[in-house]
Amino acid sequence: MLITSRPRRNRKSENIRNLISEYSVSCNDLIMPLFVIDGENKKVAIDSMPGQHRYSIDKLCQKATELYSMGIHTVALFPVIPESLKTKDAKEAYNPNGLNQLALKELKKSCPDLTIMTDVALDPYSSDGHDGIVDSKTGEILNDATVEILQLMSLEQAKAGSDILGPSDMMDGRVGAIRSALDKANFENKSIMAYTAKYASSFYGPFRDALDSEPKNGDKKSYQMDFRSSSEALRELELDTMEGADIVMVKPGLPYLDIIQLFKQHSNLPVAAYNVSGEYAMIKAAAQNGWLDGEMAMVESLHSFKRAGADIILTYFAEEMAMLLQKS
């Protein structure tokens, strides 16, 4: 057959495939989310996220130190708050001696070079299980009242040693409000990674198991975005950029690669993708059943984030990927 262009020539050997490959994933791109619980010497498995655990502060510090030595230099911290401390006003969120703040201080002591990102949203602390304050009469999630608490929360996290504040709540105006609260308190060097396009998603299921933070009533659709739209993501991008975000995030990840690409095309800010709990659980569950090769599915999906334009990937696979990279 006379075929002038034979694309298969560029696929004929591993060496040639390596030569022409355009994207790679390195430990520098990865952020590992970690869950912290009360107590000592505890490492409790999360059933819906095989391989992931909730750690007491001592164990958390060990884990973070291990991750650091493997090349994972940034972690995202999520506290599991006991039911007895959850209230309607979520005031535990800005307790200077609360679990999240204590964990931050200890992490900084035991692993000073580690970069720590913290979550700014009320759901772990709210007896309603919502990211914002719920009006008890109407059930409405109150925007401005919530933003005031997010400011207090950010200040406590900054004081305790957070390097990157991660507002994941989707209230309007929160990035600007947090930026100005931080700046007024001389925390102008604290970064903000905004959860800019955060969609109301069923892929957060296993995370809500891990935190026991499922909303008690209703859903999060009046603040998280509707998956039937993408132009709204650009509107949020514009706002978070104006309000001073340093990094913009898309969440979930795999079902939203189009939004990641859109952000990369429309923004000069670094773009992060959150490969969320449900995406992790799907691969783990299928692998456990022998339905796919879990390791290869992990590598392939992490590369798809880079191809879509993500600079940073938050992923529960960070440790496993680091181990694989060490081997190769």
Q: Which residues are catalytic?
A: 198, 251
Question: Least distance to ligand PBG from the beta carbon of 109, Å?
Answer: 25
Q: Which residues of 259-280 are buried (b: 16+ CB within 10 A; e: fewer)?
A: bbbbbbeebebbbbbbbbbbbb
223 near ligand PBG, rule: CB under 6 A: no
d(C-alpha 202, C-alpha 320), whole Å: 24
Which of 29, 106, 123, 156 contacts ligand PBG by CB under 6 A? 123
d(C-alpha 302, C-alpha 324), whole Å: 13
Sign of CA dihedral 149, 151, 155, 160: positive
Q: Are residues 92 and 86 in contact, defined by beta-carbon separation less than 8 angstroms?
A: yes
93 near ligand PBG, rule: CB under 6 A: no
Which of 92, 106, 131, 240 contacts ligand PBG by CB under 6 A? 131
The smaller minimum CB distance to ligand PBG, of residues 57 and 273, is found at 273
Which of 53, 91, 105, 208 contacts ligand PBG by CB under 6 A? 208
Question: Least distance to ligand PBG from the beta carbon of 124, Å?
Answer: 7
Question: Least distance to ligand PBG from the beta carbon of 225, Å?
Answer: 11
Which residues are within 8 A (CB) of 243 and not within 5 positions of it... i.e. 6 or more apart?
A: 173, 175, 176, 179, 194
Q: Which two tokens stand for residue 176?
A: 């600007």
SS3 118: strand
Stretch that binds ligand PBG, among 10-18, 35-43, 115-123, 147-155 (CB under 6 A): 115-123
Q: Which two tokens stand for residue 220?
A: 């999060």
277 near ligand PBG, rule: CB under 6 A: yes
User: In 3D, which of 86, 179, 157 has the Cα closest to residue 128?
Assistant: 86
Question: Least distance to ligand PBG from the beta carbon of 78, Å?
Answer: 7
Binding pattern to ligand PBG, positions 9-38, x when CB under 6 A?
A: ------------------------------
Q: Which residues bind ligand PBG (CB under 6 A)?
A: 119, 121, 123, 131, 168-169, 204, 207-208, 220, 276-277
